[in-house]
Amino acid sequence: MTPSERWPAILLQLEPDAWTRATDLARALGVSERTVYRDVQAMVEAGVPLQGVPGKGYRLPDDYLLAPIRLTRDEAVMLVLGSAYAARNFSGRYQAAARAARHKIEDVLPPDDRERVLSLRGSVSLIPSNVFGDSTEDGLLRQARHALVEERTLLATLAGASDNGPSTRRIDPYGLVRQGSAWHLVGYGHDREHVVHLRLERIRGLDMTDATFERPASYGARSQGPAAPSQRRVRVVFADEAAAAVQVPSSVAVESREHLSDDRLLLTLNVDHVLEVMPWLLSWGRHAQVLEPRALRERMATEARAVADQYESAPTLLD
């Protein structure tokens, strides 16, 4: 756990009406008292108004915490998604505050909603509007994200090929994936009866229907209690032919990027939950191979076998 990752954990242990000793903080975090002293000093220097008294310990000022508020489940889900994005794009006290806020809300969410958040964090790519200067694409991205959050089936109107007119596809959206400069809407295509990738630039319009669906477990995460503050490491190798096009989603932190001697790309990523990156990794097909952790390798293998099973009885030109 890095120092900035320990800050939210320290804040969660402190109260405005009670003192907490460095010994107790060290025991709760599994670190030495010296580490606690260094972290507290760094937090104070970064602007966190901790109060400390020798022999008593530390506490937060009375006005540091807001009065309790009541949130709807949708409000809580949106705040968790937004704070996860903010934590990736800020540092110091603001990164610590975003992570602390996210974990506080996650801890009180019902298990089903916590699982929904984990699934969405890996499926809904959050980027500012007009980042590509294309208002039409921005509008499609907003509509797709809306359908992803509500798990609503979409009707996608696609540009026609040659003299053919536009066609309509019915799709249950599982995620948004960016490859190079192109966005793809990934989901279950009702007409094809399997998972499809629709290039956003081919889509002329999206209409959200009243029909709902349930995202497959492969694209979500089974809740095992409150989310842990520490991040997990994911190592994945991309084939040489795909290496140049790899762009990591903005919600994922890149620890290292290494080009191997055979031109393959080795990425080491840090994520809050390993299944967040699963939709993105699946979009690369055979071009991406997960090295660790083992749990993610097994989930990827299970999904790959499930996809292969769909084609065992598929008709061929010889039938």
Whether 68 maps to a domain, the answer reads: no
Neighbours of 256 (CB within 10 A): 10
Q: Which residues contact 229 (CB under 8 A, 6 or more apart)?
A: 1, 5, 8, 9, 99, 103
> Do 231 and 305 lie in a common domain?
yes
Find residue 57's DSSP bridge partners. 53
| Final residue of a structural domain among 202, 218, 234 | 218
Whether 12 maps to a domain, the answer reads: yes
Beta strands, E only, 151-202:
152-158, 167-179, 182-189, 194-199
CA triplet 236, 237, 243: central angle to 5 degrees? Answer: 125
Assigned token pair, 62: 């009375």
Q: Is 90 exceeded by the pLDDT of residue 153?
A: yes
Whether 193 maps to a domain, the answer reads: yes
> Do 207 and 247 lie in a common domain?
no
CATH of residue 30's domain is 1.10.10.10
Task: Tell me which amino acid residue 34 is.
Answer: R
Task: Calculate mean pLDDT across residues 276-300.
Answer: 89
Neighbours of 279 (CB within 10 A): 24
> Do 190 and 233 lie in a common domain?
no
Q: Is 70 exceeded by the pLDDT of residue 223?
A: no
Helices (H) and strands (E) in the chain, counts: 10, 11
Cβ–Cβ under 8 Å, residues 277 and 177:
no
Q: How far apart are CA 134 and CA 281, in angstroms?
A: 26
The pLDDT tens digits of the residues spanning 19-37 come to 899 998 888 888 889 988 9
CATH of residue 262's domain is 3.30.70
Which of the four pLDDT bands, split at 50, 70 and 90, describes residue 154?
Answer: very high
Assigned token pair, 52: 């400390």
Q: Which residues contact 207 (CB under 8 A, 6 or more apart)?
A: 154, 155, 157
Neighbours of 285 (CB within 10 A): 12
Whether 92 maps to a domain, the answer reads: no
Assigned token pair, 270: 């840090």
Whether 119 maps to a domain, the answer reads: no
Distances (CA, A) of 186 to 195, 273, 291: 7, 20, 24
Domain range holding 200? 135-218
* More confident position, 174 or 4: 174
Instruction: Quote the number of domains for the chain.
Output: 3
Q: Which burial class, exposed, middle or buried, applies to 192 when counting CB atoms under 10 A from its CB (0-12, 13-18, 19+)?
A: exposed
Cβ–Cβ under 8 Å, residues 39 and 88:
no
> Do 246 and 293 lie in a common domain?
yes
Which of the four pLDDT bands, split at 50, 70 and 90, describes residue 181?
Answer: low
Whether 250 maps to a domain, the answer reads: yes
Q: How far apart are CA 86 and CA 74, in angstroms?
A: 18
Say what the pTM is.
0.42
Which of the four pLDDT bands, split at 50, 70 and 90, describes residue 106?
Answer: confident
Q: How far apart are CA 103 and CA 227, in angstroms?
A: 7
**What is the model's pLDDT at position 265?**
93
